[in-house]
A and B are shown apart, each in its own frame.
Chain A
Amino acid sequence: MSCPIIEFDDLSHSYGDFVALSGLRGSVPPGSIGLVGANGAGKSTLIKVLLGILKPSGGSARVLGLSVTEDTIPMRARVGYMPERGGLPPDQTAADFMIYAAELAGVPHRAAKQRASDVLTLVGLHEERFRHLGDFSTGMLQRALLAQSIVHDPDLVFLDEPLSGLDPEGRDEMLRLIGRLRGFGINALVSSHILTDIESTCDWIVMLDGGRVTRNSSLHEETRSRTVELEVLGQAEQAEATLRDRGATVTRHGLRMEVTVSDADPYDLVLGVLSESEAGIRLLRPSVTTLEDVYLEGDLGGT
């Protein structure tokens, strides 16, 4: 793994007696990271701890190599945040607020004006820049929130439920914008409970459940299928028996089978077995594993 952008070491946080985060360990590489979990899983609390707003009850965390408790100010100068709700003053124009948001991060006024103009163009709000934020639609507000989070060119941006309240068209547009962040050199931690959104934008997932990390790994790794769908032309029973003999788990419905292999490439095994038999191949394709499958597997007792 390249130099991690986020590291936890036995990180915990409690609200009184309620434990919101418990013993989080691990690290997260650069890129687009999906923070996944049901409502109340601890996603927003984790983001607040990583921003230095909430103090950990135990353990420690580092963002971009900086301690969230001891180096809060230098760390905050290098991150952005898109909150789930609110965050925009209705009495200011989009342009004025973007300039202010950049200046708050230490960008000098003249450069802040240029940056504000650039990011508003980037999120498609250039024409609306002199409108008051109170007159914006939900979709425009979400784009404005994204714009303020990157106006100072952070190294890492925390996006807390960035698609909430958006219609399908707005979701597509926002997902496209989030997907472009990596190309700008901005890492993103995208919190969501909608797994398809994470699947389409992220390459790493951190899965939270009840304040604990249940998965912290590459999304490709998690969804890489070790199961293939196979349909043969004749000799199905013989093929099934041979596959079982070679250690595969097989579920057969007539001529169609699902073949799962735990410690080898399922294609090599299937092709090897069928070349030795008289069965022909009608169909051979990967069985699709979605993030939802992975999540449900974890929810039902996975690691």
Chain B
Amino acid sequence: MSSEGTVYDLGYTPYEGPRLGRSGAIRAIFVDSIRRSLGLRRKPWAKVLPWALVGAAIAPAAFFVTFTFMVSGFSVEDAGAFGSPDQFFDYIGTLEMLFVALITPTLLVPDRQHGVLSIYASRPVYSSDYLLARAGAVLLLATLFMLIPHAVLFFGISALNVGGLWAGLKFNADQIPEILITTVAYVVGYGAPAFLVSLYAKRVAIGTGVYVAVMFMTGALADAIPLASGLLAFKVLAPMSLFFHPMTVRDWLFDLEGSGMPLARVDLPQWVAAISIVVVAVVSAGLALKRYRSEI
């Protein structure tokens, strides 16, 4: 046997396997969106913020359940905001807004900033497929971001029931539809404006900053509305309080009065918040399709 090696040019091998077409491309974009949002297969710093927010969302619920279980005499009612699903939304809702503020620009802005859309344009996808896959990933992650801590809380509280876990689950089961629908309100109510801002932002940080500023400003404006105001200007302003709409929907679903909410201040019904959320979502979708029509 010769001890000398030989280097061969392996040349080029044509691909003759299956091609998954458009559905394969959409799946690839969706998976890439999940990875990019959570910083997976990216540099370490890309993981810090999303996972810190995930930790901040789950940790209090897990801590509360563990603490209640370990400390005798501490009851569910003693836990304040963490003691019931409707109040837990107050805490996790703000984190949810920060989470979508972080991930939505990350999914949309860099592809435009670095010219990657031209690569999508040479693949078997339409612009609507690209947007659908990106939006789908935002919706899934934002939904899980809210539901997982709620699940920890729900199962934890149920397990603390004096009759045991099963009895606790049956006792609390009537809250499940409200939790699910309120979660949808938060996801769409906070996700759609984030998507809208990300369509036009030139940098991720700008997109995140503008979105957070818009949400807090609309909240602050609505806070400035005097109680029981009959002025038309305030009646117009109140439905624009994007920050409060998911909370108003929650109050509507959980039969809470929500007297401090902007819509209540101008005597508008709570369901107007749901309408506002839908309108913003539809406008965002329409503008997204228009914005990307000549890109992909």
Chain A residues near B (Cβ < 8 Å): 48, 51-54, 72-74, 76-77, 79-81, 83, 85-93, 96, 100-101, 103-108, 111, 115, 118, 121-122, 132, 148-149, 152-153, 158, 180, 183-185
Contacts and interface: CB of A to CB of B under 8 A. Distances in A.
Nearest to A110: B17
Interface of B: 10, 12-15, 17-22, 24-25, 27-29, 32, 41-43, 46, 110-111, 114-116, 118-126, 294-296
B32 A100 contact: yes
A76 B15 contact: no
A132 B115 CA distance: 16
Contact of A87 (B118, B123, B126, B296): B118
Given A73-B22, A77-B21, A152-B15, A105 B124 contact: yes
B110 A51 contact: no
B188 to A, nearest CB: 28
Given A87-B119, A91-B110, A106-B19, 15 more contacts: A53-B121, A80-B122, A81-B118, A83-B115, A86-B116, A86-B118, A90-B114, A92-B42, A96-B41, A101-B119, A103-B24, A103-B27, A107-B24, A108-B18, A115-B15
A121 B110 CA distance: 27
Given A80-B122, A87-B116, A107 B17 contact: yes
A111 B15 contact: yes
- Most chain B C-beta atoms within 10 Å of own C-beta, residue among A104, A108, A185: A104
A101 B119 CA distance: 8
A81 B24 contact: no
B123 A104 contact: yes
B294 A53 contact: yes
A77 B118 contact: no
Contacts of B120: 104
A289 to B, nearest CB: 34
A122 B12 contact: yes
A76 B18 contact: no
Nearest to A93: B41
A83 B118 contact: yes
Contacts of B46: 91
A81 B119 contact: yes
B13 A118 contact: yes
Contacts of B115: 83, 85-87
Contacts, number: 114
A158 B122 CA distance: 9
Contacts of B22: 73, 106
A51 B13 contact: no
A111 B114 CA distance: 27
A81 B122 contact: yes
Contacts of B13: 118
Contacts of B10: 118, 121
Contact of B15 (A48, A54, A107, A148): A107
A76 B118 contact: no
Ranked nearest first, the 5 interchain pairs of A and B with the lowest CB-CB distance are A86-B115, A81-B122, A103-B28, A153-B15, A106-B19
A52 B295 CA distance: 10
A81 B125 CA distance: 14
B121 to A, nearest CB: 5
30 contacts: A48-B121, A51-B121, A51-B122, A53-B121, A53-B296, A54-B294, A72-B126, A76-B124, A77-B21, A79-B122, A81-B121, A81-B122, A86-B116, A86-B118, A87-B114, A87-B118, A87-B119, A89-B111, A89-B114, A92-B42, A96-B41, A100-B32, A103-B24, A104-B29, A104-B120, A104-B125, A118-B12, A118-B13, A122-B12, A184-B14
A119 B173 CA distance: 55
Contact of A88 (B28, B114, B124, B294): B114
B288 to A, nearest CB: 17
Given A83-B118, A122-B12, A89 B110 contact: yes
A115 B17 CA distance: 11
Contact of B21 (A86, A106, A118): A106
Contacts of A121: 10
A106 B116 contact: no
A53 B295 contact: yes
B249 to A, nearest CB: 36
A179 B120 CA distance: 25
A54 B293 CA distance: 9
A184 B12 contact: yes
Contacts of B15: 107, 111, 115, 152-153
Contacts of B41: 92-93, 96
A103 B25 contact: yes
B28 A100 contact: yes
Contacts of A149: 122
Given A77-B21, A81-B119, A104-B25, A86 B14 contact: no
Nearest to B18: A108
B114 A132 contact: no
A81 B117 CA distance: 11
- Most chain A C-beta atoms within 10 Å of own C-beta, residue among B14, B42, B118: B118
B20 to A, nearest CB: 4
Contacts of B124: 73-74, 76-77, 105-106
- Most chain B C-beta atoms within 10 Å of own C-beta, residue among A53, A79, A101: A53
B116 to A, nearest CB: 5
- Most chain A C-beta atoms within 10 Å of own C-beta, residue among B21, B25, B28, B29: B28
A254 B41 CA distance: 73
A196 B202 CA distance: 38
B42 A104 contact: no
